[in-house]
Amino acid sequence: MNLYPTTHFKRQLKQKAKKNFTLKNLIKNKLNLLLDDSRHPSLRLHKLKGKKIDQYSIWIESNLRIIFLKEKDSYILTDLINHDQY
């Protein structure tokens, strides 16, 4: 599997990393874990409902989630949001 961050995702990461200096490393570790073992319990991977029914979410920390699409052999990272935003 490959990771493809969208421009929006990159912008969100840059914005949130200004407030949390360890966030980039934490996200990097979670994404590596997603690539190695997407069923790992610490990811809390689940499919979304409603308007984002075709997307998935993984837990990063406390209230922060990565939203992504699954395409054949890749994950398209679409958003980095708080749980309350979706």
User: Is 43 within 8 Å of 59 (Cβ atoms)?
Assistant: yes
Q: What is the pLDDT of residue 82?
A: 85
CA distances from 61 to 10, 38, 54 (A): 18, 17, 23
Rounded to whole angstroms, how far apart are CA atoms 57 and 77?
10
Q: Chunked in runs of 10, what are the mean pLDDT values of the chain (86 residues)?
A: 95 90 93 95 94 94 93 94 74
Q: Is 77 exposed, middle or buried (0-12, 13-18, 19+ CB in 10 A)?
A: buried
Q: What is the pLDDT of residue 1?
A: 86
Rounded to whole angstroms, how far apart are CA atoms 52 and 48?
6
The CATH number of domain 2-85 is 3.40.50.720: no
Placement of tokens 């997407």 in the chain: 38
Q: What is the pLDDT of residue 21?
A: 83
Q: What is the pLDDT of residue 47?
A: 95
